[in-house]
Amino acid sequence: MINLNYLLISCLLTASLLTFTVSAQVEVKEYYENGNIQISGFFNEDSLKTGKWEHFYENGTTKAVFHYENDVLNGVHKVYYENGQLKYEEEYVNGILNGAYKEYYENSQLKTEEEYVNGTLNGVYKTYYENGSPQITGYYLNDKRTGEWKQHYKNGQVGEIGNFVEGVFTGEGRFYYENGQLMKIFYSDSKKTIDYDENGNLLKTKKQKKKNNERIEKSVNE
């Protein structure tokens, strides 16, 4: 049989602990001169930031939202334009960037996409023009460019293309005119370049090499 007196005392103790826990958090608010709130958040019993902290523009719209655990960023962090549109969002785990980072133009169009693992860039990297067309596409491995990277014109046409190994350009690279015609071919090992005009006609081939500590450029016009 349950001892009612014991049960009552246990409930009272639990309620007291809950009350103490809640009262240990101190709410903080700062205001602009016009009376609008500027910052709101909480400190725990150790005077460390905890829970949701929110920053505001002077007109009252939300500027940023952070989440803390013992003064350390944890969770999704969002920053906004003054018009209320999301500017960027990122995620922290124990104060370190992890997961997707996304940045937006003021018109809400996606601007940048990145992936983080333990604070370093790892994964697909993409940027976009304000009209939504791709600008740069590539891949990071441990904060270094890896594999094929492309840069585009606003019309979507590829403007540059090259390959990277541990952040260093390697192999053949190409530049294109906005009409899609090949502009230049260049090589990482020989410093050789081949140039074309907008109609596809070969202009020149250039080689660069060092002789007697001086650079000698040899151009062959076609």
pLDDT digits (tens, 9 = 90+) for 25-61: 899 999 999 999 999 999 999 999 999 999 999 999 9
Q: Do 104 and 83 reside in the same domain of the chain? A: no
**Nearest of 137, 134, 132, 79 to residue 107 by alpha carbon:** 132
Q: Is residue 8 part of a domain?
A: no
How many domains in the chain?
Answer: 2
Q: Do 173 and 79 reside in the same domain of the chain? A: no
pLDDT tens string 176-195:
999 999 999 999 888 789 99
Quote the percentage of the chain above a pLDDT of 90.
Answer: 77
Q: Do 66 and 115 reside in the same domain of the chain? A: no
- What distance in Å separates the CA atoms of residue 151 and residue 135, rounded to the nearest whole number? 6
Write the CATH number for 74.
3.90.930.1
Quote the percentage of the chain above a pLDDT of 70.
Answer: 82
Q: Is residue 19 part of a domain?
A: no
The encoded tokens of residue 115 equal 């992936």
Q: Is residue 132 part of a domain?
A: yes
Q: Is the pTM of this model over 0.85?
A: no
Residue 207's pLDDT is 66
Q: Is residue 177 part of a domain?
A: yes
- What distance in Å separates the CA atoms of residue 89 and residue 80, rounded to the nearest whole number? 9
Q: Do 85 and 114 reside in the same domain of the chain? A: no
Domain that holds residue 141: 98-222
Q: Do 125 and 203 reside in the same domain of the chain? A: yes
Beta bridge partners of 89: 78, 102
Q: Do 208 and 102 reside in the same domain of the chain? A: yes
pLDDT tens string 110-155:
999 999 999 999 999 999 999 999 999 999 999 999 999 999 999 9
